[in-house]
Amino acid sequence: MTQKLPDVHTRAEVIAEALPFMQRYDQEVVVIKYGGHAMGNKAAAEDFAEDVVLLELQGVKPIVVHGGGPQIGKMLDKLGIQSEFKGGLRVTDAATVEIVEMVLAGSINKQIVGWLSAEGGKAIGLCGKDGNMVTARKLTRTLRDPDSNIEKELDLGFVGDPHKVDRSVLDAVLKAELIPVLAPVAIGEDGQTYNVNADTFAGAIAGAMKAKRLLLLTDVPGVLDKNKNLIPELTVDQCRALIADGTVSGGMIPKIETCIYAIEQGVEGVVILDGKVPHAVLLELLTEHGAGTLITP
């Protein structure tokens, strides 16, 4: 049975309903973090590219930050380089950071630029090292030994945290009406290359650019309550309470922490949403109901 398409009048009404949302984001910066897991589906990737190009054409200033954990893992396996994890984080030694930079700033970055170009957009691929855009510091983490209860510092190698963001390169790129696509690789004050978590990188960029929205596209619908139902909207205080009572746990905690950081830096709202949903970005920005969990001050 063939699906009946909406008639031209219905389509026109849908476009007209989006008008107030288009006006809300006109000339505003929207940072979109596109996760490595969300990239796996070709149709979803095409939808994502269409959404970003459409936003740019209507006057929004999108900045795409991408991850690539699964792709890095595959390349390391292919080259026979063993990955070690400490406290759930990949240890990035000298050999690994070289592969991380190659995959993130090379193949994945240019693949996304290609998708946007195929949809008629003008995109440019960059990483945090370009123009000293993002300066990182070595990330430090402590882990409590369950037997001795003693905390010890983890050496994660060349894993970094954003320290400073110079927005001059991004300002120039956006002024030229190009779509920046950023790989989360940064330079350290010590001259070393650092691998930065893509969520953290996106939060730092959004904060520096005083973005209207930061969208974290991931592989879950958003923040879920204890019954696994989507929570459509949260404040920063409610987020902290959900972490404290264990409702938010595991990999969602660093995402929520990134959201809180970005809002404290001046971002108006952060949304965690499922990047595999068709046209998730447009659903979130241009409809009344949105597509994930909106976190506000």
Q: For residues 61 and 52, is the Cβ–Cβ distance under 8 A?
A: no
Q: Indicate whether 166 pLDDT > 60.
A: yes
* Residue 152 lies in domain: 26-296
Enter the tokens of residue 149.
């209860």
Residue 6 lies in a domain: no
Q: CA-CA-CA-CA torsion for 130, 125, 157, 99, nearest 10 degrees?
A: -130
Task: Classify residue 112 as exposed, middle or buried by CB count within 10 Å of its CB (0-12, 13-18, 19+).
Answer: buried
Q: How confident is the model at residue 87 (pLDDT cuts 50, 70, 90)?
A: low
Residue 212's CATH number: 3.40.1160.10
Residue 253 lies in a domain: yes
* pLDDT for the residue 122: 97
* Structural domain total, the chain: 1
Residue 17 lies in a domain: no
Residue that is written with structure tokens 């193949």 in the block: 107
Average pLDDT over residues 6-14: 71
CA neighbours within 13 Å on the CB side: how many for 56?
27
CA neighbours within 13 Å on the CB side: how many for 130?
17
Residue 8 lies in a domain: no
Q: Indicate whether 48 pLDDT > 70.
A: yes
pTM: 0.90
First to last CA, the chain: 47
Beta bridge partners of 126: 182
Q: Indicate whether 1 pLDDT > 60.
A: no
